[in-house]
Structure 1
């Protein structure tokens, strides 16, 4: 779709709606961008650079009309771990590499794979991330000094406890003012972003009454420059690429999942609209390739800001582009004043974000089911908190896979009987056995399949009814070959009835249809029974002679 077609029918009224929505989202993104950057272990301006550059590119090039991109809470624990282990410069390189991976994923049309991630896994790691973000702000909320950051959750909690004696009541008061405003503003009006009011109000209190007595962005990071950094490419080598491959993969996978989840939320809020998941991955990838070249950290679709964009009347991608322009103007005009913001003012904002993203209702709902989904949820959650996100997601997916395979293997039903032989004579029935299979034949059910044809099939005609078997994999195909050989060794015959087209294609490709004999495959049971009777007569005749 060309640019002209994309904006066909776009009116001045639509532009006005987009500008209003973009302005509001831009104002919301400023404190969140800085807060997420600080929580990720980088300077606050790096978060603003990300909002501006990645935010504009994601809106322009992504597959969702309403998506707002930038730093998000989901990235906080993984980015903090990368900064601590690899350093800030390598974080930028890993983000650039992740962008390339996202573009490739989109070009390979992997966008639809998001639907195969079980909901308990998503809820589990999201709730785990929320716990990490919330706990990571305790020291700033309490104004603790000298708290050393660690990758491990329990070590961070121990570090906070060790420094609890440095508790600063003035920081707590500023944090409580911000928290009170965050809670009160939405009850009064929905037109003003509560994070902005909370930040401005608590910063004013801190500046007027506690100047020089509480930690601020200025004391922690120095002044924020009121300009974008210059373009700078990386010094890449094969050794460095291999070294940074694990964090790059983690960023790409999480960024892809988070962006597509956000786009799906947007679809749900705008009935009749559907995003292009593969185009979204390509747009996210390009944004993450460009942003690090200007000091931006990894970005993805921001669910809360995307929802804010839609609720404030966004009509097109213009709102997302304008939100980045708003942040750019604020950076150019007001950046020096950001040094006055207390760290205690940022803490409640992130804590509220963590509380809102925790999916507490869905978490408790899954737990109450007391099923294996509850186990998947808890394991993913606990591993996210106490190990790392990659381990948690892989473990959650593997557990879900094992449970799924177990359930599917039980879905195969096998029935042996004479019901299909009622119109045959008794002496004819004795030599024929009908085995009816219902369900998928795959590696998880091959043992049941093999046991269905017992070792006592001597001189019998075995009819396998497979019309209710929708799927056969190569493991099941190999088992069928073993059954054919077993029946042949016992001087028996194997006939197959009602094999569906897709399984038939597999057997033809592997040569099993030739091994069995094309004349042993039948569409209807009547045809198979006629052949079975003839085969039994031949066997009886050969035995008499």
Structure 2
């Protein structure tokens, strides 16, 4: 039953009539039940997706302000609005199906947990501010573009003198009932067999009181209006507007899919099963494509209703069948009874449904302790979403997150490894006194990929740790030319061999490979032998193509660090025996 109220409430965010929220709470649910892999996921309307779609609808079909329009004109505007919203749904579904064909489910990984949580939390502020005008009974235009929160707040403050007291009272009463009841449901969720259905109770009471007292006529409050019984006739969306919708639909599609998959993965991990991200693309793609023919706006997984579904014991996709049956009964028989439901009640339900998103601020102290960089990603994304808009804020968050990854790889550490006594274990010597460096051998481990962005850091790290500079390279070359033999005393006296542990180098690009080969060459010219260990096949292939084997022999590449060290020790021992002088 909560899905009914939330569906009608989120239709207001989409700037369409509440009845279309009921349609969106039915058709996508049935289709996802057939094709989806998330057993606990409840699909349908979602506040963030509705808000983003509403911005598109408002930009293409703005509602005339400051002028009287007839009922016929109002109906025509409503028809155009749902046609645009359905076109967004169709295009979103087709994009998801195309992504499924291309097996692009992996793209959801670019939205990390800090980005998703900060984005949804920031979008919750947009939703709350957008509902203030309805809760106060103000007839204000809906703003689009940059800084919509500040534009909306400014418009509300300027119009506060026109507040409808009746709708303000309705909003205050609703919030004073919804907030404590939601808190009770949360605190005593284990003791309550089913959560208190406060939304449907509030809707029924408000509708009954509004009908009995004719609040819409007496106090000019906004009501839901006519909700036709039955199903809508299938019809094509506004296909002609699709070219103008492409760039606005892409973030809607990406966010809807990412939130749905993230939610499905959370519950799959909790209940010990797996989902298929690419199959989820197909499921949501089909859901949106087909439901667009029945005047639905874009759908995705819903945080609030998914939590309710799991608390009620739902554990398979068939649970969607029962929720759909309830919506079906309302569509066929009960829908017209909601005619007198005040829109202020739906606005309050909208705001309260975002409770979990606002509570995500509680994760910040723990995130600060775990990773300050992830904390910065969260804060930057949230600030960008709130101050700019949802789409640009998401883009800023993704770019900043990727830049943070680049920064982390640039500042990667190059560790000096030592060997634990009488073992084959090699660990950094800095914090472990039991691991000691081997005389004459320097073992280095670089814990990052080597690419154009960090190659200079890699070079400086090796130069510093090996004491390698141009003078020593030239000195090594001169001593090797002296009498055609190598003078050991004139080599880099403390380091005869370098072992580079490449286990942390997961990839290397062309620029990094050229530098790597150059560093190996400089070490060899300086009289220091270079050995590689634990190179993966991809890294070794690129190094080989970059000319590594022109300076190193295959015998200098080993599977493990210990194999390389053992070979070096045997070589040094054999060399010492050959150079030894026996006096008779």
| TM-score band w.r.t. shorter chain | 0.7 to 0.9
Alignment partners' CA distance in 1, 2:38 and 2:367: 33
Alignment partners' CA distance in 2, 1:421 and 1:136: 67
Alignment partners' CA distance in 1, 2:374 and 2:353: 26
Indicate yes or no: 2:217 matched with 1:233: no
Partner of 2:150, secondary structure, is helix
Unaligned regions of 5+ residues in structure 2, if any? 62-80, 186-191, 419-435, 477-490, 559-563, 578-584
Alignment partners' CA distance in 1, 2:27 and 2:544: 51
Q: Summarize deviations over 1:136-177 as a string: whole Å, max 9, x none.
A: 111111112x31110211111111112111112211222233
Alignment partners' CA distance in 1, 2:222 and 2:309: 30
Matches within 5 A, 1:255-274: 255-267=256-268, 271-274=271-274
Q: Is the 8 A contact 1:178 1:199 kept in 2?
A: no
1:224 to 223, 227, 233: 227
Q: Summarize deviations over 1:225-251 as a string: whole Å, max 9, x none.
A: 2232222235657xx655322122111
Q: Is the 8 A contact 1:288 1:298 kept in 2?
A: yes
Q: Is the 8 A contact 1:267 1:275 kept in 2?
A: yes
Report the RMSD for the aligned CA atoms in angstroms: 3.2
* Structure showing greater relative contact order (alpha-carbon pairs closer than 8 Å, 6 or more residues apart): 1
Structure 1 residue 384: deviation in Å? 1.0
Q: Is the 8 A contact 1:132 1:385 kept in 2?
A: yes
Partner residue, 1:55 = 29
1:466 to 485, 500, 506: 500
Matches within 5 A, 1:269-308: 271-308=271-308
Aligned in 2, Cα 1:80/1:234: closer, same or farther, shift over 3 Å?
A: closer
Partner of 1:437, secondary structure, is strand
Matches within 5 A, 1:373-412: 373-412=374-413
Indicate yes or no: 2:4 matched with 1:30: yes
Indicate yes or no: 2:567 matched with 1:527: yes
Partner residue, 2:425 = none
Q: Is the 8 A contact 1:66 1:266 kept in 2?
A: yes
2:155 to 159, 166, 184: 159
Partner residue, 2:516 = 480
Q: Is the 8 A contact 1:175 1:202 kept in 2?
A: no
Q: Is the 8 A contact 1:140 1:347 kept in 2?
A: yes
Aligned in 2, Cα 1:319/1:437: closer, same or farther, shift over 3 Å?
A: closer
Q: Is the 8 A contact 1:131 1:354 kept in 2?
A: no
1:502 to 521, 537, 540: 537
Partner residue, 1:426 = none
Structure 1 residue 253: deviation in Å? 0.6
Aligned in 2, Cα 1:362/1:228: closer, same or farther, shift over 3 Å?
A: same
* Bigger mean CA offset, 398-407 vs 347-356: 398-407
Unaligned regions of 5+ residues in structure 1, if any? 1-26, 423-428, 538-545
2:171 to 162, 168, 175: 175
Q: TM-score, normalised by structure 2?
A: 0.76
Partner of 2:51, secondary structure, is helix
Q: Is the 8 A contact 1:216 1:339 kept in 2?
A: no
Partner of 2:25, secondary structure, is helix
Matches within 5 A, 1:241-390: 241-267=242-268, 271-366=271-366, 369=369, 371-390=372-391
Aligned in 2, Cα 1:132/1:504: closer, same or farther, shift over 3 Å?
A: closer
Alignment partners' CA distance in 2, 1:305 and 1:397: 27
Q: TM-score, normalised by structure 1?
A: 0.81
Matches within 5 A, 1:71-110: 71-87=45-61, 88=81, 89-110=83-104
